[in-house]
C-alpha cells in the first residue's frame, strides 16, 4: 500500500513538473515548494505532508538528496498547516456564533403616527385645556382650609 502511494505521489509530481518544463529528479526545493502551492487547495494538510514525504523518499532513493528537508519547504508546509488550522477555527466560530441580540428600538416606534389616548383621564384633560381660559394672577390669596388633627 505504501509503495502504491509513493508511486502515485511521484507520478503526480513528475507529471506536474513535465507540464511546466521542470526537472522532476533531482528537483530543486523551489520546484517542490511551487508544487506544494499548486496542490495545497486540493488536499488536506495531512495528505499533503504525506505526499511531500513520499516525493522526498523517492528523491532519496534515486539521488540521495531530499528537497523536502529544505528549510524553505518546511516553512511553506508550516504556513499551509497554519492556514488550514485558521480555516477550521473560523468555521467552528461561525458555527458557534450566538444569535444577534434583539434590537434596542423598534422602527415602528419612531415611524408610527401618534394617536391620542382613549382613557377617561385623557378625554377630561383635552376638554379642560380646550375650555380653559388663560390664567392670570389672583388679586386675593386663595383660602386654604386646614384640617384639624
- Please determine, for residue 1, whether its predicted confidence score (pLDDT) is greater than 50: no
Q: pLDDT for 19-72, tens place per residue? A: 999 888 888 899 999 999 999 989 899 999 999 999 998 888 887 788 888 999
- Please determine, for residue 78, whether its predicted confidence score (pLDDT) is greater than 90: yes
Grid cell locating 35:
508544487
First to last CA, the chain: 108
In order, the DSSP letters of 82-98 are HHHHHHHHHHHHHHHPP
Domains and their CATH numbers in the chain: 2-92 (1.10.150.130)
Amino acid at each position: 500500500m505504501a509503495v502504491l502511494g509513493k508511486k502515485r505521489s511521484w507520478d503526480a509530481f513528475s507529471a506536474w513538473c513535465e507540464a511546466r518544463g521542470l526537472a522532476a529528479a533531482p528537483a530543486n526545493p523551489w520546484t517542490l515548494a511551487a508544487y506544494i502551492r499548486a496542490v495545497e487547495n486540493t488536499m488536506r494538510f495531512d495528505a499533503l505532508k504525506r505526499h511531500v514525504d513520499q516525493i522526498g523518499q523517492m528523491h532519496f532513493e534515486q539521488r540521495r538528496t531530499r528537497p523536502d528537508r529544505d528549510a524553505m519547504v518546511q516553512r511553506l508546509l508550516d504556513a499551509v498547516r497554519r492556514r488550514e488550522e485558521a480555516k477550521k477555527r473560523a468555521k467552528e466560530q461561525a458555527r458557534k456564533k450566538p444569535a444577534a441580540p434583539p434590537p434596542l428600538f423598534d422602527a415602528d416606534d419612531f415611524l408610527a403616527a401618534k394617536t391620542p389616548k382613549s382613557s377617561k383621564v385623557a378625554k377630561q384633560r383635552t376638554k379642560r385645556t380646550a375650555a380653559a381660559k388663560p390664567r392670570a394672577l389672583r388679586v386675593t390669596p386663595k383660602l386654604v382650609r386646614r384640617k384639624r388633627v
